[in-house]
A and B are shown apart, each in its own frame.
Chain A
Amino acid sequence: MGKHSMRSLFVLFFKYSNMNLKLALEYKLNRSLIALAIFCREMIGVVVMFLILLRFLHIRGWEIHEMLFLYSFLFLSYSLFVLLFAGIRDFDNMVHSGDFDRLLTRPLGLMYQIISARIDFTATIGHGVVGIVLFMNTAFSVGIEWNWQNSLYYVLALIGGTIIQASLFLLSACFSFWAVKTENLRNLIFFNARRIAGYPLSFYPVFIQKLLIFVIPFSFVNYFPAQYFLRKDGSFWEGYLYLTPVVGALLFYLVFLLWKLGVRSYTSTGNSVY
């Protein structure tokens, strides 16, 4: 029994992953159905977009393949997010059920435990399949040259987008330290922002654009990376196209500070709100 080293934390992380994999294989039928359900739910947005463009052909110069390419970023990065950070997604539950108390009695960092303890393979597949289907159907027909620079950019943008989404979820999770029910707040910060980001930023009034750039920076998850490849709208600052990883890192850092404040508040006021 002793202190953890980097190596032992790494080994432990794989132990946790292994447990999660066993768990995923435990109810195969049910989990496949859930993955299918997630696939159906996420496809609605795609189908709606498709139906609209079937009729209108293009919107402000955007064609169907370009719109769906823009959309594909959301699913691929979300899929990575639930693979790596499902614990952050489920954090509010952890607080309400008292599981968070258990984490506090363990000789490990809290964020480490939250991240390693939970991997949602089901959702990873459900969202991932939508993302891959969209990507395969669009990435080679919108005029992108997949050389190594562009490929590297793409990977970095995906990682940045994943971290931005993790930060936003962590932000909504922070509210569970102070409020009992946070479902609508989370919808406001995350799911609705994500739905808005499904369409090009240039469609929206300036107020919404500013919101999605500076407050809930979802535009860096898909719009600016897509813009890098497609160059559709000229109205935004060129620099935004390269900022996704920076925004991800900065946002995570800020939200992490807030989260730490929340943990302190939790441990000093207790879960008396419940």
Chain B
Amino acid sequence: MTRAYLEFAKKSFQNNIVYRSEYVAGVINAIVMIFVNIAIWKAIYEEEGSLEGVQFKILATYIVLSFLLQTLYVMDEYFIEVKVRNGLVSSDLLKPIGFRLYVFSYTVGTLAFRFLLQMLPALILSIFLFHLLFPFSTVMFLYFLVSAILGYLVLYNLNFLIWVSSFWFYWTFSLVTIKDAAVMLLSGALIPFWFMPEGMIDTLQLLPFASIYSTPIQIYLGMVPEDEILTGLIRQAVWVLVLYAVGHVLWKGASRKLVVQGG
């Protein structure tokens, strides 16, 4: 049974490397965007006059990590929607496989591709080009890995809610786009929380978005005191569970809808 899911993951991995120019352009894109964003932050910091300081190195590392995570966090947002619209979802549900696990393994296959063939080359180049700071300590690095995985799961379960809504809406472009905008703005992917207005930071910490980028990166940089790391991880885990639970309820509703209306 596990074999089937492994095959889905493998298939999705393979789908991603069929197109050569597309692949190369993807890697170049990642590098260019890191490069440009660092240049912008350099211009900003010049006024502060602390370009050589630790402050800027930390910021640069933050930017690099955020973009590396962004290359990992890309998922096929219309995988379910397309199946709903062309009716394939009903036949998928008849197969002796868990549909949600099927979607997940497909997404993980894409993740594996992005990790090995897009993020790693970008990471190696970043170390040389942008003087990426090494993790604060080995322990912090391990915490970071756990936190990044949890961040991925938060994003996945959040995305899943939108994907399942296609059972009711058929077209989810607007929902996906608005969700993306919220994630990019409120997760710390584009601006570190410490540059946000004071009043907003506490609210941002309460939302699920912080778990996706801000928490793992801040742990990597050693900016989270050791006694708060566990709280951070637990908060992430809680969001995974909460979003999963909501997704579960939605999914049950969607399957019922499918049974009643016969697709």
Q: Report how far A47 CA is from B46 CA in the complex, Å.
A: 22
Bitwise interface map of B from 211 to 232 toward A, beta carbon under 8 Å scored 1, else 0: 0000000000000000000000
Residues from 163 to 217 in A contacting B, C-beta threshold 8 Å:
175, 179-185, 187-188, 192, 195-196, 199, 203-205, 208
User: Quick one: given A40-B177, A44-B184, A196-B36, are A180 and B43 in contact (CB under 8 Å)?
Assistant: no
B170 to A, closest residue via Cβ:
A30
| Stretch of B78-86, B190-198, B233-241, B252-260 lying at the A interface | B190-198
Q: Report how far A212 CA is from B260 CA in the complex, Å.
A: 56
Query: Considering only CB atoms and an 8 Å cut-off, how many residues of chain A contact the other chain?
Result: 38
A260: CB under 8 A from chain B? no
Q: CB-CB < 8 A to A48: which residues of B?
A: 185, 190-191
User: Quick one: given A37-B177, A180-B19, are A30 and B195 in contact (CB under 8 Å)?
Assistant: no
B246: CB under 8 A from chain A? no
B25: CB under 8 A from chain A? yes
Structural contact, B171 and A184, CB atoms closer than 8 A: no
- Tell me how far the C-beta of A184 lies from the nearest C-beta in chain B, rounded to whole angstroms: 4
Structural contact, B25 and A185, CB atoms closer than 8 A: yes
User: Quick one: given A41-B177, A48-B185, A51-B196, are A208 and B39 in contact (CB under 8 Å)?
Assistant: yes
Structural contact, B44 and A179, CB atoms closer than 8 A: no
Q: Report how far A188 CA is from B35 CA in the complex, Å.
A: 13
Structural contact, B39 and A181, CB atoms closer than 8 A: no
Give the contacting residue for A37; candidates B32, B42, B174; CB below 8 A.
B174
Bitwise interface map of A from 47 to 70 toward B, beta carbon under 8 Å scored 1, else 0: 110011011101110000000000
B1: CB under 8 A from chain A? no
- Tell me how far the C-beta of B29 lies from the nearest C-beta in chain A, rounded to whole angstroms: 5
B136: CB under 8 A from chain A? no
A180 to B, closest residue via Cβ:
B19
Beyond A40-B181, A59-B43, A60-B46, 10 additional contacts (C-beta under 8 Å) are: A38-B177, A44-B190, A54-B197, A179-B19, A179-B22, A180-B22, A182-B22, A185-B21, A199-B43, A203-B43
User: Quick one: given A30-B171, A184-B25, A208-B39, are A56 and B47 in contact (CB under 8 Å)?
Assistant: yes
Q: CB-CB < 8 A to A40: which residues of B?
A: 177-178, 181
Q: CB-CB < 8 A to A185: which residues of B?
A: 21-22, 25
Structural contact, B25 and A187, CB atoms closer than 8 A: yes
User: Quick one: given A59-B43, A185-B25, A187-B25, are A33 and B174 in contact (CB under 8 Å)?
Assistant: yes
User: Quick one: given A44-B184, A48-B185, A184-B26, are A55 and B173 in contact (CB under 8 Å)?
Assistant: no
Structural contact, B21 and A203, CB atoms closer than 8 A: no
Bitwise interface map of B from 169 to 188 toward A, beta carbon under 8 Å scored 1, else 0: 00101110110110011000
Structural contact, B28 and A188, CB atoms closer than 8 A: yes
- Tell me how far the C-beta of A133 lies from the nearest C-beta in chain B, rounded to whole angstroms: 16
Chain B interface mostly: helix
**CB-defined A-B contacts under 8 Å, sample of 10:** A33-B174, A36-B178, A44-B190, A51-B197, A184-B26, A187-B25, A192-B32, A192-B36, A203-B43, A204-B40
Q: Report how far A186 CA is from B248 CA in the complex, Å.
A: 37
User: Quick one: given A47-B185, A51-B195, A203-B40, are A36 and B174 in contact (CB under 8 Å)?
Assistant: yes
Q: CB-CB < 8 A to B18: which residues of A?
A: 180-181
Q: CB-CB < 8 A to A55: which residues of B?
A: 195, 197
Give the contacting residue for B185; candidates A44, A52, A56; CB below 8 A.
A44
Top 5 nearest A-B pairs (CB, nearest first) are: A184-B25, A37-B174, A37-B177, A203-B43, A33-B174
Q: CB-CB < 8 A to B33: which residues of A?
A: 192, 195
A255: CB under 8 A from chain B? no
